[in-house]
Structure 1
Amino acid sequence: MSGLHARDYERMLDLVMAVLEHDDPESLWHLMAGHLQEALGCDTVIFAGIRVAERDGYAQGWAPHSMGPDVSEVIRRRVQQRHPLIAYMEAAGSSPVSVTQICDTWRNSSWYSEARRDYGTTHQLGVPLLGVPGELRAVSLGRRGDFTEHEVAFTARVQPLLLRVDRHVRELHRLRAAVADAAGATPPSGLLTAPAGGPSPPRHDLTPRELTVLGLLAEGLTAAGIGRRLTISPHTVNRHLEKVYRKLGTNNRVSAVLAAKRAGIVR
């Protein structure tokens, strides 16, 4: 594996800090895409999901701004065409790989022609994100010119972080859906609205991250467990909990969960 430089580790640290300081699942991948584009000089960054049984797929892409809904149609077409990166993941390939490493006829393929025509890219690097039953997930990086051994090595070091970000985003979505369902579609800001004909509930002004931590607390997770789920330290979890206690007017975990349940914030 090609040796990494000090600047590479600085970029990894920047990625970690970006995740820890960001709690909006709707824009977290966009933030990560910007970091990957800068680090690897990419023209496109696409986060793709492939439903194996249905032979279908979807995507979110940036180049560097949103590539629009059409990119999901591109992914569906690639699934049907058995793009080399998809075939690689179906064969249990798990390491980052340049498409030229697994496809000898890349430059003569329709995939190459389409990518060059639509996005101006000539090479692709796939980063598998494993761990979702029945679905293949990956980051596809595209640019003009092939990826070097050093860049593939850098991507391999970043891969575990991307995997945890993927899990983190899905967990945030799950918790927000559960909170919204329990509270009757709570607004994203976390401020509760009064039910029809009922008294106005207290306004707790919990941030999205505090709502996420509170939701996991209500599920019975410890600070260490919440930290593992959200890829943050127990110390950071406790800092969030202190703010939750203050806003709910409580002073411990049990009373905070009870107060949140009475207010309809969690189940």
Structure 2
Amino acid sequence: MARNDAQYRLWLELVGEILQQPLGLSSRYEGQLLELLGQSFNGACIARNRVTPEWENHILALWPRDYLPDQPPVDYDFRQHPLLRWFALTRQPGPQSYGRVPDALASSSLKQAWEELARPWGITHQLSISLQIGGGDHNVGSGDYEAYVIHRPDRDYTEQEFDLARLLQPILNGLALHLALAPQEGKAARQSCSYGLTLREMSILTLLSEGLTAESLARRLSISPRTAGKHLEHIYRKLDVGDRLMAVQRAYELGLLKPAPGNLLQNQRLESKTR
């Protein structure tokens, strides 16, 4: 319990530090996040992976750096990977480890093939914590699937570690959303700061532009509808608008958001034409 308490403190400190930074600076913190994941789960290697609908696996971030090749071996079919098969076939969003995938979903021969491939890097045992960033289908094989994956060579993950993974999953999802929203240039970051918008409020603005309701974005961000409503109130006040459609329009005008196909404004126009 003492170790868990120490880990919780480190996570709270990191989350608090990230959320207090201007939007454009948050991406530099992912290395610290990966390192803390490794420390929390005794991992030898931590990665943020994306699997495309074509089952191509890409490493988006890695700690320690250069621990693994930038791209996986081309002769391995990731449709046969036991953990990916678990997520694709069960559609379960919670954390899962390689050792807990039942033989009914991944035969011993499939597991042996992965272990032979992974053994040289010491990444045989994996714990995957799925993420949901932005819109779209986040199921393996259906849309881009993204997850933090903790690797180690020697043993499966304990129930205590699973409890920690479940606790961290909504936090990781929220932080990954912020990191993904961080603009490559500083202009939008400076503008958002000049209007007093926080990282959380910018992420909510982006979800509003995708057409999400207050209830939907509350579920996406793992917050209560009441908390979501409070965030919306703050956004409306800071942008001097009265509703979510006007908030998104104002964000586009100020350059805080970039228009994209399927945004809230386009959806509203389509709805008005069909009435």
Q: TM-score, normalised by structure 1?
A: 0.59
What residue is the counterpart of 1:115 in the other structure?
118
Identity of paired residues, percent? 15
Whichever residue aligns with residue 140 of structure 1, its letter is: V
Structure 1 232/19 Cα, relative in aligned 2: closer, same or farther at 3 Å? farther
Aligned partners of 1:127 and 1:155 also within 8 Å: no
Aligned partners of 1:210 and 1:241 also within 8 Å: no
For the pair 1:161 / 2:168, whether they are aligned, the reply is: yes
Aligned partners of 2:55 and 2:79 also within 8 Å: no
What residue is the counterpart of 2:57 in the other structure?
57
For the pair 1:212 / 2:218, whether they are aligned, the reply is: no
What residue is the counterpart of 1:200 in the other structure?
none
What residue is the counterpart of 1:263 in the other structure?
254
Provide the rounded CA distance (Å) in 2 between the counterparts of 1:153 and 1:142.
Answer: 17
What residue is the counterpart of 2:155 in the other structure?
146
Greater Cα offset, 161-170 or 133-142: 161-170
1:37 Cα shift? 0.6
Aligned partners of 1:190 and 1:206 also within 8 Å: no
4+ runs deviating over 6 angstroms: 217-220
Residue ranges of structure 1 left out of the alignment (5+ in a row):
193-202
Whichever residue aligns with residue 39 of structure 2, its letter is: E
What residue is the counterpart of 1:42 in the other structure?
43
Aligned pair count reads 234
Structure 1 99/29 Cα, relative in aligned 2: closer, same or farther at 3 Å? farther
Aligned CA RMSD, in angstroms, stands at 4.7
Provide the rounded CA distance (Å) in 2 between the counterparts of 1:39 and 1:186.
Answer: 32
Provide the rounded CA distance (Å) in 2 between the counterparts of 1:39 and 1:168.
Answer: 17
Whichever residue aligns with residue 96 of structure 1, its letter is: Q
When Rg is computed on C-alpha atoms for both structures, the one with the higher figure is 1
1:98 Cα shift? 3.5
| 1:123-143 Cα deviation digits (max 9, x unpaired) | 312325276141444433222
| 1:156-207 Cα deviation digits (max 9, x unpaired) | 542363256336635874x678xx9xxxx88242339xxxxxxxxxx54755
What residue is the counterpart of 2:83 in the other structure?
85
Provide the rounded CA distance (Å) in 2 between the counterparts of 1:79 and 1:99.
Answer: 19
What residue is the counterpart of 2:187 in the other structure?
187
Provide the rounded CA distance (Å) in 2 between the counterparts of 1:129 and 1:31.
Answer: 19
What residue is the counterpart of 1:230 in the other structure?
221
1:146 Cα shift? 1.1
Provide the rounded CA distance (Å) in 2 between the counterparts of 1:204 and 1:66.
Answer: 40
Provide the rounded CA distance (Å) in 2 between the counterparts of 1:215 and 1:91.
Answer: 30
Whichever residue aligns with residue 153 of structure 2, its letter is: R
Of structures 1 and 2, the one scoring higher in RCO (CA 8 A, sep 6+) is 2
Provide the rounded CA distance (Å) in 1 between the counterparts of 2:39 and 2:108.
Answer: 28
What residue is the counterpart of 1:8 in the other structure?
4
What residue is the counterpart of 1:195 in the other structure?
none
Structure 1 37/245 Cα, relative in aligned 2: closer, same or farther at 3 Å? same
Provide the rounded CA distance (Å) in 2 between the counterparts of 1:160 and 1:217.
Answer: 26
1:239 Cα shift? 7.6
What residue is the counterpart of 2:272 in the other structure?
none
Q: TM-score, normalised by structure 2?
A: 0.58
1:9 Cα shift? 5.4
Residue ranges of structure 2 left out of the alignment (5+ in a row):
132-136, 260-275
Secondary structure of 1:47 counterpart: strand
| 1:7-61 Cα deviation digits (max 9, x unpaired) | 3355346446644653566456544322221112111112223234x23222224
Provide the rounded CA distance (Å) in 1 between the counterparts of 2:163 and 2:237.
Answer: 40
